[in-house]
Chains A and B, each alone.
Chain A
């Protein structure tokens, strides 16, 4: 069972649809017990970082997500859900994140020089090996965001794309992963990456520490 964590921040439907299409049992839930009992969990999210953290704290789900990450079961943050894994964000003031990965989320510099949000299909470049994309050919995936993450440790940065600067696309450490793009909206490649995550969840792929 994969738990899609519902903390009131959008796009649950497209994520749950995609997971269902992969033939996985899933539940969209805000119930801590059901989340903690799941084999894998996805933290989706669209919207503002500060609002998301307020929701996560008010519902007690911030601690649940942290406990889940500590359990060693696969956890995937998508888009804003990935950004929330970091220490802090400067979106509309400085906000503390879940601090599961050290690093900051910052606005694209270069206002006026190029279009913001970074919206559309961009190329992935894998930076190191990961069970999340072992055997998968890189290609275009769908991004839409105005802020991007700067991981402190190079070892947490698994894939990048280029939008007037290197942009963090996939992060991960142990069983914790994040994707800045929307795998559920990224055609076949997106579905292949999600399948890797669900395979990991159901034990078809081993996670190396």
Chain B
């Protein structure tokens, strides 16, 4: 039976991990490669690198980070952030990334999903969706630019379009839940997961091991992503998995 996946996410700026990381025995807490190797050893099923560099130089540095990471870890990893052309995808995939995450650029140009999927295969293309509940619509709305800009696009319809265009997977972040540590957005995750035929990674709101069990059982997520609770050692990947195993959830 297919296992549910636990995915730590690292924010990387100009080749360095940003947001605090609280690991002991680190030579360098800011080195994404070293952290990636630790998460691999701790049983993470995949990793996501989110490049938040604002400069061309920062993005060029990311290619180097990807190349070094690929030589260190034995699990798949996705790179997202600032990717707006098939050429960008090619550069990162050649450097050793397994999947490419696209968000704002896909909204601006949905053909990017189609082109990426045709060129590299659906399994490479992860469409990231940042969604927030719109009370007027009684539905979720897609936001871009790291959650700053409303698009007027409905999240469920966009998820289905992304699938139709060849996305292999969706990375769904609830802006309502993100940063709260009150748990994943079950309603949003379930609504999206049940309206597409591709895997959905739930993101935003993880505060403890219990929250992962909920998003798999009730939210119908295929994978769950978290950043700060892992970085700050509030809970480890092993603890999350032990909790899930205890509840009969299949994990690696």
A-side residues, CB < 8 A to B, are 10-11, 13-14, 17-18, 20-21, 46-48, 111-112, 115-123, 139-140, 142, 144-146, 162-163, 182, 184-188, 190-191
Interface of B: prevailing SS? loop
Say whether B223 faces chain A, with CB atoms less than 8 Å apart. Answer: yes
B245 at the interface (CB under 8 A from A): no
Some 19 contacts from A to B, beta carbons below 8 A apart, are: A10-B120, A13-B70, A13-B95, A14-B98, A17-B71, A46-B120, A46-B123, A115-B222, A116-B197, A117-B168, A119-B169, A120-B4, A120-B199, A121-B3, A122-B1, A140-B252, A142-B76, A185-B98, A187-B75
Chain A residues near B108: list those with CB within 8 A: none
- B94 contacts the other chain (CB 8 A): yes
Residue of A nearest to B90 (CB): A10
CB proximity of A159 to chain B, nearest CB, Å: 15
CB-CB nearest 4 A-B residue pairs: A140-B252, A121-B3, A144-B123, A121-B252
Is B74 engaged at the interface, CB distance under 8 Å to the other chain?
yes
Give the residue name and chain of the B residue nearest to A186 (CB).
Answer: B74
- Tell me the total A-B contact number using a CB cutoff of 8 A: 90
- Checking B70, B120, B123, B223 against A14 with a beta-carbon cut-off of 8 angstroms, the contacting residue is B70
CB distance from A180 to the nearest CB of B (A): 13
Known: A13-B96, A14-B98. A115 touches B197 (CB 8 A): yes
CB distance A119 to B199 under 8 Å?
Answer: yes
Cβ A142 vs Cβ B123 within 8 A: no
> From residue A124, how far is it (CB to closest CB) to chain B in Å?
12
In the complex where A112-B197, A115-B197, A187-B40 touch, is A142 in contact with B222 (Cβ < 8 A)?
no
Q: Nearest Cβ distance between residue B213 and chain A, in whole angstroms?
A: 17
B94 touches A115 (CB 8 A): no
Contact residues, B144-173 vs A (CB, 8 A): 168-169
Known: A120-B5, A142-B75. A10 touches B168 (CB 8 A): no
**Contacts A18-B74, A116-B197, A146-B122 hold; do A163 and B96 have CB atoms under 8 A apart?**
no
A120 touching B168 by the CB < 8 A rule?
no
In the assembled complex, the CB of A190 is this many whole angstroms from the nearest CB of chain B, namely 6
Complexed CA–CA distance, A182 and B45 (Å): 13
Query: CB-CB < 8 A to A111: which residues of B?
Result: 197
CB of A115 within 8 A of CB of B45, answer no
> Could you say which of A17, A47, A115, A188 has the most chain B C-beta atoms within 10 Å of its C-beta?
A115
Count B-side interface residues using an 8 Å CB cutoff: 30
CA distance A139 to B43 in the complex (A): 13
Q: Which residue of B lies closest to A115 (CB)?
A: B199
B124 interfacial contact with A, CB 8 Å: yes
Q: How far is the CA of A185 from the CA of B76 in the complex (A)?
A: 6
Q: Is B188 an interface residue (CB 8 A)?
A: no
- A sample of 12 more A-B contacts (CB under 8 A), given A20-B71, A120-B45, A145-B123, is A13-B96, A47-B121, A111-B197, A115-B222, A119-B168, A120-B223, A121-B252, A122-B2, A146-B122, A163-B1, A185-B75, A187-B74
Residues of B within 8 A of A121 (CB): 2-3, 5, 45, 252
Given contacts A13-B94, A123-B1, whether A115 and B74 have CB atoms under 8 Å apart is no
Q: Which residue of A lies closest to B77 (CB)?
A: A185
Q: Which residues of A contact B124 (CB under 8 A)?
A: 46
Contacts of A21 in B (CB 8 A): 71
Which chain B residues border A115 with CB–CB below 8 Å?
A: 197-199, 222
> Are A17 and B96 within 8 A (Cβ)?
yes
**In whole angstroms, what is the CA distance A184 to B95 when docked?**
15
Measured CA separation A145–B124 after assembly (Å): 11
Per-residue CB proximity of B180-206 to A under 8 Å, as 1/0? 000000000000000001110000000
Q: How far is the CA of A47 from the CA of B90 in the complex (A)?
A: 14
**Minimum C-beta distance from B190 to chain A (A):** 14
